[in-house]
Amino acid sequence: MAVRFKRSYHDRKEAVTRRRKTVIKVLVVLLFFQVAFSLLAVSLRLDSASMEPGIRKGSALVYSPLVYGFNIHLIDTQLPEIRTPERGDLVVFTPPYIEQPKGAFFVFSGFVKFLTFGKVNLNSIVSAKWDQKLLVKRIIAVPGDTIRMADFKVSIKPEGAGFFLSEFEVIDRDYDVQIEELPAQWRDDMPYSGNLETITLKKDQYFVLGDNRMRSSDSTSWGMLERDRIEGLVLFKYWPLNQFKVFK
């Protein structure tokens, strides 16, 4: 018959201490990576065709909240920005018709989203609508610009300029837009006709569009985007792997 020896109180205390230290180390490492990914590189899956042909539906993107100044929702504070949003930037933002996210849980979702190519979002545990709260569009005009649009193509007169130029002459980015023909009976004064009267953007206002102009929810439907709703700058597309692309 085997004899079972009972560990001393000192040995049991040391074992508990070692396990506690191991758990604390694991938690510290996880916290570091989660905060780092939330600040520097957050993953987002694009579930619409609004940015085609450049970014296909189902692509996984990485954006950085730090470039424009990370917004710490928990304490309602924003870190200093590296630079301001520019024409041509691909930005991630909360649209005007959605309440902006708040709370510490938002900070810890980036790491999981990156590892799962944006398919798993911890925020969905709290809100089933979260996946619809962030959009990706291209900045076409910035504060001070005067714009007008005809047939889904934008003309821009920068602040201080004397005449309009096409968006492709003003914006220092390489991108293509996708425009389809409207139905034969569609009048220019109807919604989504691709026409816009002359507008001058005010302070902290941005005009954003999808590259797929006729299949995008953007400034043509809900108006100008306010600066405080911009969450970050898209850095690169990492999925599908054979379409990896770094954005300027």
- Pick the residue with more confidence: 219 or 78? 219
Q: What range does the domain containing 164 cover?
A: 12-246
Least confident of 37-46, 80-89, 137-146, 224-233: 37-46
For residue 5, tell me if it sits in a domain.
no
Read off the pLDDT of residues 212-236 as tens digits, 9 standing for 90 and up: 999 999 999 999 999 989 989 999 9
Position 130 scores a pLDDT of: 41
The enclosing domain of 27 has a CATH number of 2.10.109.10
- Domains held by the chain: number: 1
Q: Is the pLDDT of residue 112 over 70?
A: no
- Pick the residue with more confidence: 194 or 78? 194
Position 128 scores a pLDDT of: 43
Read off the pLDDT of residues 156-175 as tens digits, 9 standing for 90 and up: 999 999 999 999 999 999 99
Q: Are 149 and 224 in contact (CB under 8 A)?
A: no
For residue 170, tell me if it sits in a domain.
yes
Mean per-residue pLDDT, 99-127: 53
